[in-house]
Amino acid sequence: MSVKREDLLALIRQITSEEVVEIPNSTPYGIIVKKEILLSVCDQLHKNSAFYFDMLSCVTGVDNGPEAGTMEVIYHLYSIPFNHSLALKVILPRENPEVESVASIWKSANWLEREVYDMFGISFKNHPDLRRILMPADWKGYPLRKDYKHEEYYRGVKIEY
C-alpha cells in the first residue's frame, strides 16, 4: 500500500518551498528529493506520527550511464503500524557523487549504504563505517557502473572472463 499523497506533499512543503517531483511509474509511490534536504525529510518521515516510517527496507544505487551523467540512490521505506510504503529518490552527479548518510536514523542503512558505496562509488557523508563490503578492499573501480571495464590481471593472474 502506498502512502497518502496529499499528506506527504504537505509534509515536504514544510521543509522546502520548491516543487515536489514525483517518480514516474513507480511502485510503491515515490518522490524525488534534493540531496540537501534528504536527511531532514527522512528525519521527519521517521518521527512524524502520521507517517512513522520505522523500517528502511532497501537502499539501491542506479547508474544512468555516462551519457545521462547522473546516478541515483533510491530508499524504500516501510511503516509497520500504518502498512504503507514509500520510495525516495536522490539524483546525484556522476562526478564525485556524495549524499548524506541516513544511518543515524535507521541502523539498517549502515550495511545497505556500504554496499552502494562498494558497487557505485557513491560516498555517504557521516557514515559510521564506510568501507568496501562485498569486493576486496584493494579492488579498483566500481563494478556496477555502466562504463566499468574489468581488469585484465588480478595479482598476476589473468582473468579469463
Q: Which residues bind another protein (CB under 8 A)?
A: 23-28, 30, 54-58, 60, 62, 74, 76, 80, 83, 85, 87, 106-108, 110-112, 115, 119, 129, 131-139, 143-144, 155-158
The minimum distance between CB 33 and another protein, in angstroms, equals 15
Identify which of residues 38 and 102 has a Cβ nearer to another protein in the complex: 102
The CB-of-126 to another protein minimum distance in angstroms stands at 17
CA proximity to 90, closest of 122, 121, 126: 122
Residues 54-75 as b/e (b if ≥16 CB within 10 A, e otherwise) read eebeebbbbbeeeeeeebbbbb
- Give the count of beta carbons closer than 10 Å to the beta carbon of residue 16: 14
Q: Kind and range of the H or E element at 42?
A: helix 38-47
In the bound state with another protein, the residue whose beta carbon lies nearer, of 17 and 161, is 161
Q: Which of the 8 DSSP states describes residue 16?
A: -
Q: CB 3 → another protein: shortest distance, Å? A: 13
Least separation in angstroms between residue 136's CB and another protein is 4
Residue among 30 and 38 whose Cβ is closer to another protein: 30
What grid cell was written down for 27? 511502485
CA-wise closest residue to 75 among 65, 64, 61, 63 = 61
Q: How far is the CB of 144 from another protein (least distance, A)?
A: 6
Nearer to another protein, 17 or 27 (CB): 27
Q: Which is nearer to another protein, 13 or 143 (CB)?
A: 143
**CA 125 distance to own-chain centroid:** 12
